[in-house]
């Protein structure tokens, strides 16, 4: 019996020793990332943007107009076991970009992040659709156009160097997943020649192919909007994948520009994950702008609520009327007024501090967000402007 107990004790001892050696020999973490970055919520226009690519490591805080960027103490969450220098929460002067170095737990790797804190650049008010960047969409060689608006680096020198002020969002990224299309002109949204002036944006409702049909998303309307597209939500929650709007610091009066629209046929409605023809119905385009208040529970609008009559955050809407949405064979001018919702008014203090936001949206099929429309419907838009006081 004593020998048996002795053997049990020895077995337990060896097991503990073996486990300890495994723990001691477990490799240390080699990652060195900033996972999240924060400032007090009342100072920020929107959450910090972290860029972590092979050639760029940066964090950008967009702060409200009243914030003094000369004395800020951002806090960072980093990879477990890693260290950051200077330490998270250190007060620093962000009138110039500051650098932070994150070193991995094993001490073998490090990254230097450039951290900026700045007041928001007002978004562009005029949209010519002349500037695009071709984005590599997937490993199969898919490439699509990403529209960008530029403004002078020095407002007093309009002919001097330009900087990117705004990047338009579209559903092209989601289309790449479903269809794996190649060149930009095979996507729903792309740049084309023969605009009203120079080049323009062309939006086409397209089939998403076998994979799109398999997941109940058989067509994709061409769309372009101010905001972001969240590709990770595109399949499971498509209406929530479109995040409409950016902070806006002006009083909008009207939305105007030029457009051409040709509705294709037949109009197909998505019923039980399949397209069903709707006899007698004609496809329509849509162009609109929504001026709204950003709140903690509604930082942006999405496909569920961007035009909802009962959305309490919406202040005013400018939208093509029903006749305008049906078609325009030649370049046609539109100028639609921002109409305030009943009981809504503008607070100058909220305007100054970036509480309000603006979404501009255009689509080749008015029911495209519900995967209904006519494949081939085509909308061209050019020389658009948000007219403000």
Residue that wins the pLDDT comparison between 12 and 123: 123
d(CA 73, CA 62) in angstroms, rounded, equals 14
Residue that wins the pLDDT comparison between 296 and 190: 190
User: 117: which 2 tokens?
Assistant: 């804190």
Q: How high is the pLDDT of residue 32?
A: 95
* CATH topology for the 126-388 domain: Jelly Rolls (2.60.120)
Check pLDDT > 70 for residue 23.
Answer: no
User: 77: which 2 tokens?
Assistant: 């969450």
d(CA 269, CA 113) in angstroms, rounded, equals 49
Mean pLDDT of 243-261: 96
The residue whose two tokens read 């006081």 is 389
d(CA 255, CA 247) in angstroms, rounded, equals 17
Q: How high is the pLDDT of residue 9?
A: 43
* CATH topology for the 34-118 domain: Immunoglobulin-like (2.60.40)
Least confident among 84-98, 318-332, 339-353: 339-353
Domain boundaries, the chain: 34-118, 126-388
Digit-coded pLDDT (tens) for 88-140: 999 999 999 999 999 999 999 999 999 999 988 888 899 999 999 998 876 66
208 touches 217 (CB < 8 A): yes
**Mapping DSSP to helix (H, G, I), strand (E, B) and coil, where does residue 8 land?**
helix
Check pLDDT > 60 for residue 212.
Answer: yes
**What pTM value is reported for the model?**
0.78
**Mapping DSSP to helix (H, G, I), strand (E, B) and coil, where does residue 199 land?**
coil
Mean pLDDT of 141-157: 85
Check pLDDT > 60 for residue 328.
Answer: yes
């Amino acid at each position: 019996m004593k020998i048996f107990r002795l053997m049990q004790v020895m077995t337990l001892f060896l097991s503990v020793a073996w486990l300890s050696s495994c723990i001691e020999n477990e490799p240390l973490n080699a990652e060195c990332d900033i996972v999240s970055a924060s400032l007090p919520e009342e100072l920020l226009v929107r959450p910090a943007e972290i860029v972590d690519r092979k050639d760029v490591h940066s964090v950008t805080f967009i702060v409200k107009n009243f914030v003094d960027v000369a004395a800020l103490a951002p806090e960072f969450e980093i990879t477990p076991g890693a260290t950051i220098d200077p330490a998270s929460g250190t007060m620093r002067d962000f009138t110039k970009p500051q650098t932070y170095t994150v070193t991995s737990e094993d001490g073998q790797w490090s990254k230097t992040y450039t951290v900026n804190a700045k007041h928001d650049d007002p978004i562009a008010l005029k949209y010519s659709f002349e500037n695009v960047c071709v984005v590599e969409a997937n490993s199969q060689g898919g490439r699509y156009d990403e529209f960008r608006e530029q403004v002078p680096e020095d407002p007093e020198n309009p002919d001097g160097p330009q900087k990117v002020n705004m990047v338009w969002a579209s559903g092209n990224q989601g289309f790449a997943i479903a269809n794996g299309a190649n060149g930009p002109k095979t996507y729903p949204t792309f740049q084309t020649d023969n605009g009203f002036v120079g080049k323009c944006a062309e939006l086409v409702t397209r089939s998403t192919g076998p994979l799109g049909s398999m997941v109940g998303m058989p067509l994709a309307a061409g769309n372009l909007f101010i905001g972001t597209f969240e590709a990770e939500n595109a399949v499971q929650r498509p209406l929530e994948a479109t995040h409409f709007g950016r902070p806006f610091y002006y009083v909008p009066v009207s939305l105007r520009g030029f457009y051409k629209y040709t509705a294709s046929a037949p109009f197909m409605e998505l019923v039980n994950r399949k397209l069903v023809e709707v006899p007698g119905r004609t496809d329509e385009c849509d162009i609109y702008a929504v001026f709204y208040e950003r709140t903690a529970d509604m930082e942006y609008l999405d496909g569920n609520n961007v035009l909802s009559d009962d959305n309490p955050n919406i202040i005013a809407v400018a939208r093509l009327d029903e006749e305008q949405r049906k078609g325009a064979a030649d370049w046609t001018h539109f100028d639609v007024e921002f109409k305030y919702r009943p009981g809504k008014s503008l607070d100058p203090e909220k305007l100054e501090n970036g509480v309000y936001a603006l979404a501009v949206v255009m689509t080749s099929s008015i029911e495209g967000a519900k995967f209904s429309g006519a494949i081939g419907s085509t909308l061209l838009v050019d020389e658009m402007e948000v007219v403000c006081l």
